[in-house]
Structure 1
Amino acid sequence: MFDLHSYSDTYLSGMHDWMSHNGEWPWLQTIIVTPASGNRAAMLSDITGKTTPLLDFFDKQLIPTIDQKYRTNGFKIMSGFRMNGSIVLSALINKPDMFNAYIAISPELKDDYAGILSTASSKLAKLDKKSRFLLFSHGTNVKEAHQMKAYDQLHSIFKKHSTKKLDWHYKHFENNYFMSLPLLSVITGIEKLFNDIHNGLAPDSKVSQKGIDAIIKHYKYLSDHKYGFAVSPKNSINALGFHLLSSSTQAGMKVFKDMIKMFPKDAYSHHNLASAYEKQGDFENAVKHQRDAVKLADNMLGWHKKRHYKFLEDYLSKSGGSSSE
């Protein structure tokens, strides 16, 4: 994740640490890149927008160097506040292949700063079919009063000229303080950006209603085209299983049994089958499969270990058995 403000590391690193320490939920493990205090790279920015020397430096020197030094996976996020937010927008419309996700917070737009308002319409319409994410946010305060009309203009441009592959979002933080906006915006952006990973598909969605194969195909698309790294379909398949269980025991149970075939070493796949048996009143099989889940959870975080063991105790109490059997 790139941010041009040297002080942004203080809140980005802290928020990332907090939001990722509990199993990377909701923020996946991320390398935070900010300039050192006093670094003059930002002076490369052309406020007319006619050239992009700063973005060229990112593209040709900075990003390749980072990729060589760190174990990156190719997915890149850029965030920026005020003038740095304008650079984020400039990256989207002028160098759209450089980043995958953009968080532009209170970008400077007045007097066509960086040529954003004068060129965004035509450049957005020309974006290719690559999946991209954008959060454009701002507040209502004395620091932004000079460009509220410009914000409305940019919002209108996104509504009229964005392609379907640009997953863009707009957020007006009208009741928050100006200096709170970067933190609120990054949290909002990260939650929306990785929502497909954490929440999954609703069981009554068009994709899920087509079955397991369609769900797997959907997540292959997310893995190959949106994120560039593997995204698991497990949550969505499990949701479909429980949804089907309410109307067809056979169809629901088949989903959970198929899950174990696909993910034999996944504790939650075994737990979900156990839970399905428990819902049918088959406590013997519920205990059997939850024991498997407990064994597989041995390599998971303590919270998950305790959770699976509590499930086992619950099923045992209903079956009349004991955890030592």
Structure 2
Amino acid sequence: MFAGHSLGGLTVVYSFVSRPDLFNAYIAASPVLHYDNDYVIKRAEELFKQKKDWKRTMFVGLGNEPDYQKGFNSFRDLLKKTNPKGFEYEFREFKEDNHASVVLPAYYAGLRKIFAGWNPPQIGSVSELENHYKKLSERFGYKILIPENTLNQIGYQFLQAKQFVEAIDVFKKNTQIYPNSANVYDSLADAYEKRRST
């Protein structure tokens, strides 16, 4: 992920249009997109003529800054017009903020955009959880494992419901994913002990 503000925001967008393979997510807060006669926007227009699946996310935030509005609008309109495949983007104006105060709300909103869908929905089964993290892995371009504590929580829910076979299966899966964690073996032992004492 690459984030920047003002000229740093311009650098973020420039980085994407000149070397789109460097990062998979971008946050530009009040970028100076009109710099050098809209150079970056023109580069973006050329770049998006390539028909490819981008698998990239960009968030562009702007404070109440009339001097930056034209570049912001031009870039937003270009993305709406070209609608690049696999390129998720959001443009948001923060009218209550100025050039200096927009940084934190724009970064926060950008992170929310980039990581939207990170938390799993209410999970009914481990296979649904595996599917959720498989999709996240595909989206972000690297393997994302089911968190150890998430599997542990599911295992203990099965234990409380006296579903020992299911609990043991979940805890075993946790030992496969996290073989160096003492906690996963402790939880598996809890399940075996509770099954034996019932």
| Shared fold (TM-score, shorter chain, > 0.5) | yes
Name the structure 2 match of 1:178: 99
Give the drift of 1:230.
1.4
User: Residue type of the partner of 1:228?
Assistant: Y
1:229 aligns with 2:147: no
1:266 aligns with 2:187: no
Distance in 1 of aligned mates of 2:100 and 2:21: 30
Distance in 2 of aligned mates of 1:271 and 1:137: 43
User: Residue type of the partner of 1:266?
Assistant: L
Give the drift of 1:269.
1.4
Write out per-residue CA displacement over residues 98-143 of structure 1, whole angstroms, 9 at most, x where no aligned residue: 1111111111122545611223223124263241111011011xxx
Give the drift of 1:173.
0.8
Structure 2: gaps (5+ residues) = 175-181, 185-197
Give the drift of 1:231.
4.3
Name the structure 1 match of 2:177: none
Write out per-residue CA displacement over residues 208-253 of structure 1, whole angstroms, 9 at most, x where no aligned residue: 9xx9767745632431452413143x8xxxxxxxxxxxxxxxxxxx
> Percent identical across equivalent pairs?
20
Name the structure 2 match of 1:165: 86
Structure possessing the higher radius of gyration over alpha carbons = 1
1:219 aligns with 2:133: yes
Name the structure 2 match of 1:305: none
Give the secondary-structure state (helix, strand or coil) at the position aligned to 1:138: strand
Aligned Cα root-mean-square deviation (Å): 4.0
Write out per-residue CA displacement over residues 249-308 of structure 1, whole angstroms, 9 at most, x where no aligned residue: xxxxxxxxxxxxxx8x93211234357x4xxxxxxx279x99xx9xx9x949xxxxxxxx
Distance in 2 of aligned mates of 1:180 and 1:127: 37
1:151 aligns with 2:151: no
Name the structure 1 match of 2:7: 83
Distance in 2 of aligned mates of 1:125 and 1:106: 25
Distance in 2 of aligned mates of 1:129 and 1:218: 21
The alignment's TM-score, normalised by the length of structure 1, stands at 0.45
1:98 aligns with 2:16: no
Residue among 132, 137, 146 paired with 2:56: 132
1:119 aligns with 2:40: no
Distance in 1 of aligned mates of 2:91 and 2:122: 23
Question: Residues 80, 127 of structure 1: CA spacing in aligned structure 2 closer, same or farther, 3 A cutoff?
Answer: farther
Give the drift of 1:193.
1.7
User: Residue type of the partner of 2:67?
Assistant: H
Distance in 2 of aligned mates of 1:226 and 1:189: 15
Deviating more after overlay: 118-127 vs 87-96: 118-127
Question: Residues 155, 115 of structure 1: CA spacing in aligned structure 2 closer, same or farther, 3 A cutoff?
Answer: same
Give the drift of 1:151.
1.4
Aligned length: 177
Distance in 2 of aligned mates of 1:190 and 1:161: 24
- Structure 2 contact 52–85 (Cα < 8 Å) conserved: no
Distance in 2 of aligned mates of 1:196 and 1:231: 15
The alignment's TM-score, normalised by the length of structure 2, stands at 0.69
Higher strand share: 2
Question: Residues 128, 184 of structure 1: CA spacing in aligned structure 2 closer, same or farther, 3 A cutoff?
Answer: same
Structure 1: gaps (5+ residues) = 1-76, 235-262, 278-284, 301-324
Map 1:249-260 onto structure 2 (within 5 A): none
**Structure with the greater relative contact order (CA < 8 A, sep ≥ 6): 1 or 2?**
2
